[in-house]
Amino acid sequence: MSAHLDVAVIGGGPAGLSAAIELKRQGIARVGLFERESEAGGIPRHCAHPPFGLREFGRLLTGPGYARRLVALARTEDVEIHCNNSIVGFEYQNSGVKLLITTPAGLAHITARRVLLATGTRETTRAGRLLPGERPLGVINTGALQAYAHMERRLPFERPVIVGTELVSLSAILTCRSMGAYPVAMIGEEAEVLARKPLFLYPRLLGLPVLTGTRIVDIEGNPRVSAVTVEGPDGSHRRIACDGIVLSGRFTPESSLARLAGLGIDPKTGGPIIDNFGRTTHPCIFAAGNLLRPVETAGWCYREGRLIARQILRDLQEGLPDASQLGEIQVGEGIRYAAPQRVASPSGGMDCLQLRLERPFDGWLTARDATGRLLAREKIRSRPERRILLPLPASGPENLIRLSLEDRA
C-alpha cells in the first residue's frame, strides 16, 4: 500500500467506486479505495434483484451483478482496492489528512491530499426507532435480511411482520418469498403507503394485509419473537402472531466516520454538511453517495460519485472557491431536508439542491434571501418519497438562503 495518496476514497459502494474510477480516468495517479467489508460493491452486493445498471451499463442487472461490474471496471482502471480495511482515525496535517486504518495484518497509516467519504446509508434500527417491548431474536433490518439470504441461504424466521411501506419494504417481501418465508403483515406508521401505490398490488396478491397508520405498541417473545401488538388509526389494538420483524427503510446516513472526523453534521439529513462541490466542513474532505442523505438509487449515487470526483480533481489542480464565502441554506417547515447545505456561486459542481418533503404539498417552493427577497421559486406538487430538484439559487446578503413552502396565493 502506498503511504501517500492523492485521494483516499473511503467506502466501496457505487459512489466510492465510480469516484475512484473517474479520478483514475482523469489522470490522478495515486488513488486508493478502502472498503471495510471483504469485498467492494456496497449495498448492491446483497440486493438479489434488478433493476440495477440501466444508465451506467445499459443493461438490466441484479445488485450482485452490478457490484461485480463496478469492481471489475475499477480494477481495469487500476484503482487500488483495499478490502477488509476499516478507517478508525483521522489526523489533520498541513498538506492533507492522515488516516489510521485497521487491516487484518494490523494497524496502518496513510496520508492523502484529499479524502472522499462514501460510507453509504443503512436503515434505522429498533433502538433508533425507540420501539417498545421485549428484545427477542429475530428483529432485523432489511440489510441484515438480505445478508442472511445472500450469505447463509436461510432466514432466521418463517412468518415475519414487515415494518415500513417504502420501496425497500417491498424488496424485503421479495427476499422473504425467495427464501420460502411468508410475511404475515406489512405495517406503516404513515397514513398512506410511502412507495408508489400500484406496487402494493404485490403484497395484496400475496394476501398480505397492508396496515397503514399503524404502529407497534409491544413486541413479545423469548428467545424469539412470538407476537407484535399494533395500534391502528382508530386506536384499536391487534396482536399479530409472528416469528420475526423486518424493520425496513427509514434510512439514515452511515455518518459515524464523518462524526469521528469532526465534520459538521446536518441533523436534517443525518449526513455531513456539504457544499455544491461535495466538500464538507473540512476543506480536504469530500463526501458523496447516500452518506449525504437518505436515500437515492445506486445509479444516482454512481453519477454523484463521478461528479464529486471531478470537483476533487478541480480542487487539486486549480483550487475550489473559498469555503468561507458560501451561502447557507436554511430549510423551513414541511421540508425534511435539503442538500447541499451550502452553496458557492458562481458555482460548478452540483447544479441543483436535492430536497424532500415531510408531507404531501401542492404549491410554491421558494428560496428567499435574509431580507425576504425572492431568489428562486418552483411550482411543486410532491409527496415525501419524491425527490425535488431546485436549480441552485445564488445567495443574497448575509449569505443566507431560506427555503420554504408557500401556498399558492
Partner 1 sequence: MTADILIIGAGVVGCATARRFALEGASVILVEKGADILSGASKANSAILHTGFDAPPGSTELACMQAGYAEYLDIRERFNLALVETGAMVVAWNEAEEAQLDAIEAQARENRVSDVSRLDRAAILAREPNLSPAARAALLVPREHVIDPWSPFLAYMIQAKALGARFLFQTEVTGGQFDGEAWSVETTNGIFRARTVINCAGLFGDIVEQALLGEAHFSIHPRKGQFVVFDKAAAALVKTIILPVPNERTKGVVLCQTAFGNLLVGPTAEEQEDRLRATTASDTLKALIDKAVTMVPALEHMPVTATYAGLRPASDKKPYRIRVEPDRNWITLGGIRSTGLTASLGLAAHALELYRAMVGAKPDWRPVADPLESPVPNLAENRPRDWSKPDHGAIVCHCELVTEREIREALEGPLPPGDYGGLRRRTRCGMGRCQGFHCQARVAAMSEGRLRVPMVPEGGAA
Ligand X SMILES: Cc1cc2nc3c(=O)[nH]c(=O)nc-3n(C[C@H](O)[C@H](O)[C@H](O)COP(=O)(O)OP(=O)(O)OC[C@H]3O[C@@H](n4cnc5c(N)ncnc54)[C@H](O)[C@@H]3O)c2cc1C
Among ligand X, partner 1, none, residue 120 binds (CB under 5-8 Å by kind):
ligand X
Q: Tell the smallest beta-carbon distance from residue 335 to ligand X (Å).
A: 22
Rounded to whole angstroms, how far apart are CA atoms 203 and 276?
40
The single-letter DSSP state of residue 275 is B
Under the binding rule (CB under 6 A), the answer on residue 119 touching ligand X is: yes
Which residue, among 282, 247, 278, 240, has the nearest Cα to 261 in the 3D structure?
A: 282
User: Among 322, 320, 392, 315, which Cα is nearest to 353's?
Assistant: 392
- 44 or 396, CB closer to ligand X? 44
Binding mask 161-200 for ligand X (x = CB under 6 A): -------x--x-----------------------------
36 binds ligand X (CB under 6 A): yes
* SS (HEC) of 40-91: CCCHHHHCCCCCECHHHHCCCECHHHHHHHHHHHHHHCCCEEECCCEEEEEE
* C-alpha count within 13 angstroms, C-beta hemisphere, residue 241: 0
**121 is a contact residue toward ligand X (CB under 6 A):** yes
**Which of residues 73 and 265 has its CB atom nearest to partner 1 in the complex?**
265
Q: What are the CA-CA distances from residue 408 to residues 252, 330, 332, 378, 405 (Å)?
A: 32, 21, 16, 11, 10
- 12 scored as a contact of ligand X (CB under 6 A): yes
Among 4, 3, 9, smallest CA distance to 312 is for 9
Query: Does 252 engage in binding with ligand X (CB under 6 A)?
Result: no
What is the rounded distance in angstroms from the CA atom of residue 292 to the CA atom of residue 254?
Answer: 9
C-alpha closest to that of 300 among 83, 142, 118: 118
Residue with cell 402472531: 241
Other beta carbons within 10 Å of 6: 18
Among 188, 289, 327, 340, binds ligand X (CB under 6 A): 289
Rule CB under 8 A: which residues touch partner 1?
36-38, 84, 86, 88, 102, 104-107, 122-123, 125-128, 130-135, 137, 140-141, 143-144, 147-148, 150-152, 154-158, 176, 179-181, 218-220, 222-224, 243-244, 252, 254, 256, 259-260, 267, 270
Find which of partner 1, ligand X, none residue 96 binds, CB within 5 to 8 Å per kind.
Answer: none
Smallest gap from residue 53 Cβ to ligand X (A) = 10
State in angstroms the smallest separation of the CB of 71 from partner 1: 18
Residues in the interface with ligand X (CB under 6 A) total 37
Q: Which of 32, 53, 120, 183 binds ligand X (CB under 6 A)?
A: 120
- Beta strands across the sheet bearing 335-339: 335-339, 352-357, 388-391
Binding to ligand X by residue 142, rule CB under 6 A? yes
Q: Which CB atom, from 56 or from 123, has the smaller least distance to partner 1?
A: 123
* 126 is a site residue for ligand X (CB under 6 A): no
Instruction: Work out the burial of residue 39: count CB atoms within 10 Å of its CB; fewer than 13 is exposed, 13-18 middle, 19 or more buried.
Output: middle
Binding window for ligand X (CB under 6 A); candidates: 37-45, 225-233, 314-322, 399-407 = 37-45
Residues that bind ligand X (CB under 6 A): 10-16, 34-37, 42-44, 47, 86-87, 118-123, 142-143, 146, 168, 171, 254, 257, 289-291, 295, 297-298, 301
